């Protein structure tokens, strides 16, 4: 029998369908970290319930639970520490967090919630590292997939319930704002998230996890979860529906013909997104035949124009953010550089600047575990 090779965690030489078995991988501290990690995944979609009134306006219980998981994981890393060569993903994470820290350091004046949001970005980096490590454990991929599948079914049920209740005249937190769409006799589902766009992003993520080959989910549960996610993303009436379809085609691109279909769909979807960003389309999903193009610039075109103007003003040494030139009741702020990110101001109809704090999920740093909440103005 060969002796075991040195490693920061001992392995047995017996292999199963998921690779080498780690001795004690889910025991003790690391087992507790894994359980808390799964609990954080289950709580991730529920930003509005149960309420978490501390730390940040949009913080939630999954943040606190994951903080515990990260702490236990870190203790295990210290106990079994072994130097490893940095990889390209580690460099990317360092740049991501370093740019955020630099932005906060250069902000004038500094936002009150800036430190909490920087902590949130640090937790996103930690989430990546913890997932990469814990996901290698025997059976952990199956547990993650089942947790996400069950959570997806609950989220889909909440989305359908919210839309049905809205149709009966009962408005709940399960449905969100209309965004750039025309208000009408319909509702955009958001389930437990803070915005319909965030629910759509979660659907793309969850479908990818549930559809993995190593998830080992029962066929019925897999189909039910994917079907529920499809219904949920359609009820958001967001542009992320295109992304959901593209992700599905990519996962099924096992032949040359399917790969060509996925590539063609990607190009077409990109064209649709760019076109809808350039033109101002007035659309009521309840009455699609009444769609029309407006003469004014689209909200995203306004954002691009003001951001470009802010960047030019920054280069000239002008620290004032340019006024909006939009037509909506809430014009877009210009956020074009680290120095102007926290100095942007909102101009009222009279053209006088008045401070406006950046809302979480719109600009600035995301809240902890805000992987899906950080797209507050994502595809509509």
Q: Does residue 236 have a cis peptide bond before it, meaning omega lies within 30 degrees of 0?
A: no
Select, from the ranges 107-111, 124-128, 338-342, the one with the highest average predicted confidence (pLDDT).
124-128
Distance from C-alpha of 343 to C-alpha of 341, rounded to nearest angstrom: 6
Q: How confident is the prediction for the chain on average, in pLDDT?
A: 76
Residue 94, both tokens: 């360092």
User: pTM higher than 0.85, yes or no?
Assistant: no
Supply the DSSP symbol for 282. Answer: E
Please write down the long-range contacts of 73-80, taking CB distance under 8 Å and 24 or more positions apart: 73/30, 73/33, 73/37, 73/130, 73/133, 73/134, 75/29, 76/29, 76/30, 76/33, 79/29, 80/8, 80/9
Give the tens place of pLDDT for each residue, 6-49. 444 433 333 444 444 444 444 577 888 899 999 999 999 998 77
Supply the DSSP symbol for 289. Answer: G
Give the tens place of pLDDT for each residue, 209-246. 999 888 889 999 999 999 999 999 999 999 899 999 99
Mean pLDDT of 134-151: 90
Residue 232: name the closest of 209, 266, 198 by CA: 198
Distance from C-alpha of 321 to C-alpha of 319, rounded to nearest angstrom: 6
Give the tens place of pLDDT for each residue, 170-213. 999 999 988 777 787 889 999 989 899 999 999 999 999 999 88
| pLDDT-derived band at 314, boundaries 50, 70, 90 | low
Bridge partners, 15 (sequence order)? 20
Mean pLDDT of 134-156: 92
Residue ranges in 135-213 assigned as alpha helix (H): 140-167, 196-210
């Amino acid at each position: 029998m060969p002796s075991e090779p040195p490693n920061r965690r001992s392995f047995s030489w017996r292999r199963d369908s998921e690779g080498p078995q780690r001795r004690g991988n889910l025991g003790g501290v690391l087992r507790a970290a894994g359980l808390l990690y799964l609990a954080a995944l289950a709580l991730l979609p529920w930003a509005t319930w149960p309420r978490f009134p501390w730390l940040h306006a949009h913080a939630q219980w999954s943040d606190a639970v994951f903080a515990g998981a990260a702490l236990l994981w870190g203790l295990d890393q210290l106990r079994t520490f072994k130097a490893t060569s940095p990889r390209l993903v580690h460099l990317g994470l360092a740049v991501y967090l370093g740019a955020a820290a630099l932005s906060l350091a250069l902000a004038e004046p500094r936002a009150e919630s800036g430190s909490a949001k920087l902590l949130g970005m640090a937790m996103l980096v930690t989430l990546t590292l913890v997932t990469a490590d814990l996901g290698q454990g025997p059976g952990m991929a199956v547990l993650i997939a089942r947790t996400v599948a069950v959570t997806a079914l609950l989220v889909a049920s909440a989305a359908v319930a919210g839309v049905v209740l809205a149709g009966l005249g009962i408005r709940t937190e399960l449905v969100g704002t209309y965004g750039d769409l025309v208000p009408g006799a319909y509702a955009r589902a958001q389930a437990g998230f803070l915005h319909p766009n965030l629910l759509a992003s979660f659907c793309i993520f969850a479908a990818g996890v549930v559809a993995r080959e190593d998830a080992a989910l029962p066929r019925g549960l897999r189909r039910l979860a994917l079907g529920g996610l499809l219904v949920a993303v359609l009820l958001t009436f967001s542009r992320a529906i295109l992304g959901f379809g593209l992700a599905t085609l990519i996962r099924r691109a096992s032949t040359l013909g399917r790969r060509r279909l996925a590539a063609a769909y990607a190009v077409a979807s990109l064209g649709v997104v760019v076109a809808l960003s350039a033109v101002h389309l007035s659309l009521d999903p309840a009455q699609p035949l009444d769609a029309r193009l407006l003469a004014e610039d689209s909200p995203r075109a306004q954002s691009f124009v003001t951001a470009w103007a802010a960047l030019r003003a920054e280069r000239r040494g002008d620290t004032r953010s340019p006024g909006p030139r939009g037509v909506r009741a809430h014009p877009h702020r210009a956020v074009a550089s680290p120095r102007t990110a926290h100095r942007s101001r909102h101009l009222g109809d009279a053209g006088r600047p008045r401070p406006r704090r950046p809302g979480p999920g719109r600009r600035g740093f995301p809240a902890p575990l805000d992987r899906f909440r950080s797209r507050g103005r994502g595809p509509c």
